[in-house]
Amino acid sequence: MTTYHLHLFAQLPAALQGGVVTVGNFDGVHRGHMTLVRANRRLAETLGVPAIAATFDPPPLSLLYPPAVKPPLSTLRERAALLHAAGVDAVVALHTDAALLSLNAESFFEDVLLGQFRARGIVEGFNFRFGRARSGDGRLLRELCLAHGVPFVECPSLVCEGGFTISSSRIREALKRGDVVEARQLLGRSYGITGVVETGAQRGRTIGFPTANLGGVPTMLPLDGVYAVRVDVDGTEYRGAMNIGPNPTFAEQRQKLEVHLLDFQGDLYGRELRVTFTARLRDTTTFPNLEALVAQLHRDVARARTEEEP
């Protein structure tokens, strides 16, 4: 599984030229993105060519308007792994710089899609925009493909139960509310984060609930609170309970990521953990004393032990 990094006008490996190309940010690789990948795969198999997903690194918004940049739903590594698992043959990360962003829609089509990818087919969503100032849309892309004899497939929006369109923005809104169940419905899998275990206050072990403190998480966090989670440790999955936020009972206001693994024995310091969210258990709470906190932690762990993904 390889991600190719491609600068403007650089040559793509010959084995990846002449494929069916789908361009997008693919943040989160949600169910709508999966629909694009399946359509790409079908056309690629019909034509007997590779299925290629092209994304951007870094995201264009980080250059166009840095103040608007928010933590992503997935890292480039995670996006690539999910796209490969969904069925693409290769992921190409277009290097985002001023030269790429300056291309108008026609130039992006001719210089990138035809020039670098030598695309034999193109698959995009109904709301795809491309070129400088997002001037190109699906209608223009269809016209350009027709003029150059390139098959073009436009996928309609994917509507979720409740009548709303699946999108990365909708997933963000769900996570802001702590609604990890809705996020799972939109993604097609549980939302997760990855971080490295750091040294914490080590208070948890003194009250019978040792926790791993995660740091270096580059992706979006759900709303502060306590969650039932699943934790991947070197390929073995454990149930757990995770607190996101401060610890007001001990007058600590700094946001922390503390996860208690059920039925785990061992040292986790310095190890990378993948944590996926099953359910939100409760809000962050200030307890009157240590005994009340410990009693609530017992209830949290009991729920986390039995909470199942739908």
pTM: 0.92
Q: What is the pLDDT of residues 107-116, one digit of tens each?
A: 999 999 999 9
Residue that wins the pLDDT comparison between 267 and 41: 41
Q: Give the Cα separation of 281 and 227 in Å (integer).
A: 5
CB 91 within 8 A of CB 79: yes
Instruction: Please determine, for residue 274, whether its predicted confidence score (pLDDT) is greater than 90.
Output: yes
Instruction: Please determine, for residue 215, whether its predicted confidence score (pLDDT) is greater than 60.
Output: yes
Supply the pLDDT for residue 249: 61
Give the tokens for residue 96: 């985002």
According to DSSP, the β-strands at 272-282 and 225-233 are: antiparallel
Domains in the chain: ranges and CATH: 3-155 (3.40.50.620), 180-306 (2.40.30.30)
pLDDT band at 205 (very low <50, low <70, confident <90, very high): low
Supply the pLDDT for residue 207: 64
Region 20-42 average pLDDT: 96
**Cα-to-chain-centroid distance, residue 87:** 17
pLDDT band at 158 (very low <50, low <70, confident <90, very high): confident
Region 175-182 average pLDDT: 97
According to DSSP, the β-strands at 252-261 and 152-155 are: unpaired
Region 232-236 average pLDDT: 93
Give the tokens for residue 6: 């491609």
Q: What φ, ψ does residue 76 adopt, rounded to 5°?
A: -60, -40
What radius of gyration, in Å, describes the C-alpha atoms of the chain?
A: 22
Q: Percent of the chain, pLDDT > 70?
A: 94
Give the tokens for residue 88: 């693409």
Instruction: Please determine, for residue 288, whether its predicted confidence score (pLDDT) is greater than 60.
Output: yes
pLDDT band at 308 (very low <50, low <70, confident <90, very high): confident
Helix residue ranges per DSSP H, the chain: 31-47, 61-64, 76-86, 98-101, 105-107, 138-148, 168-176, 180-187, 290-306
**Bond before 59 cis per omega within 30 degrees:** no
Q: Which of 220, 213, 183 is nearest to 273 (CA)?
A: 213
